């Protein structure tokens, strides 16, 4: 058996949706699939055995944060991210580019505006002043932790991801926010293309064998192009022409409207619809957008929302029997509402056993740490159930 392979098992007769599987050295991912975010080598509030219980298939770690702490070389010394974390699932790391840009530009709305010629040192001026410098070589940024300066280049990003050791790595790219002009977007997209080639060359180079002997990794290339149809098509064609294992749809959900988001997905997937490689949509997990994207042929999705929502008491539930369509009936509730104070019904016996709405309400009110674990387990379990229903619907040509 090959260490890495993507097989399409069934194509829906109703849409471009497809049922597949990604084979990796750490197991098989049944697609369409959700990729749980484990930013710092951990899914917040959860132990590795909790991931087994929730049905988690695939975990997304963050290169930016792991480089800042404990350091990519330290992760390697600890045996790689799988060994360090105890997570035995297939894993992927991003390039660190998105975090470098998003954390470096706290005022995203104005990040592409020219700064005034005179810097008066005011709080407002400092708020708008970029903490990063983007060049064709890479991005120099200041750590949000300790103020230390870092330079991320395609080469250093891939080398860091080699040290971290996930199954999949992502090519270095520049995430373009919605406010960018077409001129800037074109220049940035072309830079991302150059970085993609440099990323591929680094992964294929001799340095990998020196860093992690015997370790095999595969790479996803990232499409950019902003909100402009011709640039999206140009970027999709360029990335699709390269020797990537998979293709990531990037630069989405960065300030555009939902209609713009769906246009961007449609433009990219119209180009990719006959491409046999896995397609990953970065940073999306709202159920309507997932269904829209699956129908257009997207295979995997990642997003922080299920666990972030869990930590603020936003609980995912499903009401069976109220809808003929199994993909309907999913909703989110606020467990902090007083209406749950005396509700003694179990929330989700499949994953939480006898835990009731009233008990979880109490835990959140008292800010008990157990609340975050239980809510996170519930939300990830529900997301996995939703994707299982998607896979079944594709197999039965209902989606």
Q: Which of 108, 76, 343 is nearest to 211 (CA)?
A: 76
| Sheet of strand 149-152, all strands in order from the earlier edge strand to the far edge | 132-134, 139-142, 149-152
- The answer to whether residue 94 is catalytic is yes
- The answer to whether residue 302 is catalytic is yes
DSSP collapsed to 3 states, the chain: CCCCEEEEEEECCCCCCEEEEEEECCEEEEECEEEEECCCCCCCCCCHHHHHHHCCCEEEECHHHHHHCCCHHHHHHCCCHHHHHCCCCCEEECCCHHHHHHHHCCCHHHCCCCCCCCCCCCHHHHHHCCCEEECCCCEEEECCCCCCEEEECHHHHHHHHHHHCCCEEECCCCCCCCCCCHHHHHHHHHHHHHHHHHHHHHHHCCHHHHHCCCCCCEEEEEECCCCCHHHHHHHHHHHHCCCCCEEEECCCCCCCCHHHHHHHHHHHHHHHCCCCCCEEECCCCCHHHHHHHHHCCCCEEEECHHHHHHHCCEEEEECCCCCCCCCCCEEEEECCCHHHCCCCCECCHHHHCCCEHHHHHHHHHCCCHHHHHHHHHHHHHHHHHHHHHHHHHHHCCCC
Q: How far is CA 116 from the centre of its chain?
A: 35
**Out of 167, 289, 299, 302, which one is annotated catalytic?**
302
**Out of 94, 167, 299, 309, which one is annotated catalytic?**
94
Beta-bridge partner residues of 318: 330
For 64, 163, 166, 272, the CA distances from 83, given in Å and listed in that order, are 19, 12, 10, 35
Q: What's the residue count for the chain? A: 399
Measured at the CA of 382, the angle between CA 259 and CA 337, to 5 degrees, comes to 85
For 7, 142, 391, the CA distances from 11, given in Å and listed in that order, are 11, 46, 11
Residues annotated catalytic, as ranges: 94, 302
């Amino acid at each position: 058996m090959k260490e890495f392979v993507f097989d399409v098992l069934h194509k829906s007769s109703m849409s471009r949706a497809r049922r597949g599987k990604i084979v990796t050295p750490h197991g098989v991912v049944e697609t369409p699939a959700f990729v749980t975010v484990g930013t710092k080598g951990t899914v917040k509030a959860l132990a590795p055995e909790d991931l087994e219980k929730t049905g988690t298939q695939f975990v997304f770690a963050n290169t930016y944060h792991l480089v800042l702490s404990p350091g990519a070389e330290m992760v390697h010394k600890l045996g790689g991210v799988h060994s360090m974390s105890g997570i035995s699932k297939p894993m992927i790391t991003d390039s660190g580019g998105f975090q470098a840009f998003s954390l470096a530009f706290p005022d995203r709305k104005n990040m592409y505006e020219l700064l005034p010629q005179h810097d008066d040192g005011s709080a407002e001026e400092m708020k708008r002043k970029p903490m990063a410098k983007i060049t064709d070589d890479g991005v120099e940024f200041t750590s949000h932790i300790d103020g230390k300066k870092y330079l991320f280049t395609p080469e250093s990003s891939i080398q860091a991801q080699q040290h971290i050791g996930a199954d999949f790595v992502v090519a270095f790219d520049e995430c373009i926010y919605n406010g960018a002009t077409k001129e800037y977007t074109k220049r940035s997209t072309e830079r991302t293309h150059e970085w993609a080639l440099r990323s591929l060359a680094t992964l294929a180079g001799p340095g990998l064998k020196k860093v992690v002997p015997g370790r095999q990794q595969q790479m996803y290339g990232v499409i950019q192009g902003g909100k402009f149809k011709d640039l999206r098509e140009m970027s999709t064609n360029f990335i699709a022409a390269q020797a990537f294992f998979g293709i990531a749809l990037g630069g989405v959900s960065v300030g555009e409207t939902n209609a713009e988001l769906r246009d961007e997905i449609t433009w990219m997937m119209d180009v990719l619809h006959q491409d046999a490689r896995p397609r990953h949509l970065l940073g999306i997990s709202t159920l309507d957008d997932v269904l829209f994207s699956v129908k257009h042929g997207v295979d995997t999705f990642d997003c922080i929302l299920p666990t972030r929502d869990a930590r603020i008491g936003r609980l995912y539930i499903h009401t069976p029997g109220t809808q003929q369509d199994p993909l309907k009936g999913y909703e989110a509730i606020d467990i902090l509402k007083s209406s749950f104070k005396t509700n003694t019904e179990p929330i989700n016996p499949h994953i939480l056993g006898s835990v009731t709405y009233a008990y979880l309400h109490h835990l959140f009110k008292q800010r008990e740490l157990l609340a975050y674990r239980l809510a996170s387990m519930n939300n990830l379990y529900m997301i996995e159930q939703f994707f299982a229903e998607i896979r079944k619907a594709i197999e039965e040509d209902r989606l």
